[in-house]
Chain A
Amino acid sequence: MLLLPVAAAALLYFAEFGRRTISIVSCGFIVLSLTVAVRCVPVVLESGMVYESYPWIPELGFNFDLMVDGLSVSVVFAILLVSGAALWFSYSYEEKLRTFSVGVLLFVSAMVGVVLSTNMFQFYFFWEAMIIPAYFIIAGFGEGKYKGMTAVKFFVFMHIGALLILFSFVWVYTIKGTAEFMALDMVGVPAAVPVLIFVGFCIKMGIFPFHNWLPDAHSEAPAPFSALLSGLMVGMGGYGIIRVLMLTFQLPPTGVVLTMALFTMLYGGIMAMAQSDIKRLLAYSTISQMGYVLLGIASSSAVGAAMHIFTHSLFKSLLFLCAGSVMYSAGARTMEKIGGLNSRLPKLFVVALVGILSLMGLPPMASFVSEVMIFEAMGADAVALLLAISAGVVTLAYGLVLLRNVFFGKPVRVKKLPLHLWLPQALLALVLVAVGLFPDMISYLMGVMA
C-alpha cells in the first residue's frame, strides 16, 4: 500500500512515457495498492489488525512498523479512491502530466504512511513528507496569480503545526522512553503535550482560528490537487486527533473543543455564502465540514468523526473535480460568469448534484449517515444542538446557491467535456451513493480500532 505509489512515481520519473501510459501507470499502481488494502480487510475483521515490522534505527530502538486496523484501512480506502480519481481526471486536465503525477503519487504515499504509522517519529516523518510535494504542486501547477505566495503561506502554516507536533512528540519520548503509540499513555505526561498536539492537528484541519491558510491554498491549487488537499489532507488532521489523542492518550474532550467545532461549522458556512468564486466557496465549505469532524471528536464519537472524514473526502473531492470541469468547459470560476450548465452539460449536472446533495447531508448520500452519527453522539444539549443544526441550514443555503448559480439561469457558451474528466467523478458519485445505501460496510470496519 505504501510502496506501490512510490514505485509508480520512480517509474514515471525515470522512464519516458506518453500521456496515456503515464495515466495508466499511475492509476494502475493506485488500483494495485487498493487491492492490497482490500486483501487486508478479512484479516482485520478476524484478528483486529495486520502488523508488519522492519528494523529502522536500531541504536534508538526504532522499528519501521506498519499497522492496518479497521480505522486506518477505511481511511486508506478513501485516500486511494480519491487519488485514483484525481490522477485519472488529470489525464485531460494537466499539461505537464508526468511531473504532476510524480508529485501526487509521493503525496499519496506520504498520506498512506501517516495512516499506517505505529510510532510518533515515523508518523512525523510522513507528516513532513506530505507537505513537501504539496508545496511544489501548488507553486508549480497553481491556477491563480498568487500561487507562489500561496505556496509559501501553505508551507509556513503547515510547518508551524508540524513543529508543534514534533516538539510534543520529542517531549513525550524524553519522558516515556518510547515512541510506540501502543505503549503510550498520559501517566507522567504534562497536560501541555496533548494541547500542543491538538493545536498542531487543528492547523492542518483548518479549524477556526487556524484556518487562514486553507481558502488560499485550496482555491489556488490545480483542481485535481485541490480535490486531494481538501478531500484528504485536511482529514489527516482529524485522523491524527483520533489516533493520537483519543486512542493513544485516551483523553476525554472538553468544552473548548466543542465551542471551536461549532464556531468553525458556522464560520466556514457563513464565509462560503459570501463567495462568488466556486473553488473558494468549496474551500470555506471544507472549513465548515472539518467543524463537523471536530464536533464528532468533541462528542467522543471516534467512529462518527472518522466516518465523516471518509464521506467528506469523497464528496469534496467530487465537487472540486466538478469545479475543475466547469473551469475547463466554461473557462471561468466565478459564479457571475457561469450559468445554465444543466442543459449544456447534463452528465456533469448529475454528478455535481450527487456532490451537492452529499454536501448538504441529505439521504441517501453517505454524508447523511456520518452527520447523523455525529448529531446522535452529541446528546441533549439544546444550545449546542441548535447551533449545529443552524450550521446544517447554512450548508443547505450555500449548497443551493452553488447549484442555482452554476447549473441554472442563463446558459453560457461551453466546450465539450471529455469522458476522461467525467468518468472519475461518476466513480466517486457511485461510491457516495453505495456507502449511503450500505453504510455498515464502512462504519462496522471503522469500529475495529486498535
Chain B
Amino acid sequence: MIIPAVGYVPDWMIALPVCVVGSLLTLLNLKFRGRLSRFERNFSILGAQIAVWFTWISTKVRSAQVDTLNRDIMMMAVGILLVFVISIFYGGAVP
C-alpha cells in the first residue's frame, strides 16, 4: 500500500475497533432484517466477518509482525464460527 503506517495512530489500532464494531453492527443487522434478501443477509454476515478479520491480519502482514499470525488466523476462525453459530440460532440467516 502506498500510504506508510506512520504517524500517531498505528494500523492495528484502527483495525481493532473496525473489526469489533463492524462485527457487532453486523450482528445487530440480524435484529433489523427488514427488506434484506437472503443473499444480502448471508453475504453481509459472512462477507463482513471474513473481511474485517482479513483487514486485521493484513495489518500484521504489512507491518511484518508475522510471528503472531497463526494466533490471529485462529482468532479469525473462532470469530467467524461464533458469528455463524449466533446467526443460525438468533437470525436464521445462514442456510
Contacts and interface: CB of A to CB of B under 8 A. Distances in A.
- Are A and B genuine complex partners? yes
Interface of A: 144, 146, 149-150, 152-153, 156-157, 160, 164, 186, 191-192, 194-196, 198-199, 202-203, 208-210, 212-213, 215-216, 219-220, 251-260, 263, 267, 271, 274, 280, 298-300, 378-381, 383-384
Given A209-B52, A251-B8, A274-B39, A384 B32 contact: no
B15 A256 contact: yes
Contact of A258 (B2, B13, B18, B35): B2
A68 to B, nearest CB: 29
A144 B34 CA distance: 10
4 A-B pairs closest in CB distance: A209-B22, A381-B2, A153-B32, A212-B29
Given A199-B21, A212-B26, A259-B58, A254 B5 contact: yes
A298 B3 contact: yes
Interface string B8-30: 11110111011001110110110
Contacts of A258: 1-3
Given A152-B32, A191-B8, A299-B3, A257 B14 contact: yes
Contact of B9 (A194, A203, A215): A194
Contacts of A260: 18, 55
Given A191-B10, A192-B13, A215-B40, 20 more contacts: A150-B35, A157-B28, A191-B8, A209-B26, A212-B28, A213-B25, A220-B34, A254-B7, A255-B1, A255-B5, A255-B11, A255-B58, A256-B55, A258-B1, A260-B18, A267-B47, A271-B43, A274-B39, A300-B3, A383-B1
Give the size range of B's interface with the partner.
35 or more
A256 B25 contact: no
A195 B18 CA distance: 9
A368 to B, nearest CB: 22
Nearest to A252: B7
Q: In terms of DSSP, what is the predominant structure of the interface of chain A?
A: helix
A352 B9 CA distance: 43
A216 B13 contact: no
A203 B25 contact: yes
Nearest to B48: A209
Contact of B18 (A199, A213, A220, A383): A199
B55 A259 contact: yes
B34 A195 contact: no
A208 B44 CA distance: 10
Contacts, number: 128
Contacts of A251: 7-9
B32 A255 contact: no
Nearest to B44: A212
Contacts of B62: 255
B28 A156 contact: yes
Given A191-B9, A260-B18, A271-B40, A216 B25 contact: no
A195 B14 contact: yes
Contacts of B29: 153, 212-213
Interface in B32-79: 32, 34-36, 39-40, 43-44, 47-48, 51-52, 55, 58-59, 62
30 contacts: A150-B32, A150-B35, A156-B28, A164-B21, A191-B9, A191-B13, A209-B22, A209-B23, A209-B51, A209-B52, A210-B21, A210-B22, A210-B25, A212-B28, A212-B44, A220-B35, A251-B8, A252-B7, A254-B5, A254-B7, A254-B9, A255-B3, A255-B5, A256-B18, A256-B59, A258-B2, A271-B43, A280-B35, A299-B3, A381-B2
A254 B18 contact: no
A219 B35 contact: yes
Among B6, B21, B51, chain A packs the most CB atoms within 10 A around the CB of B21
Contact of B2 (A203, A267, A378): A378
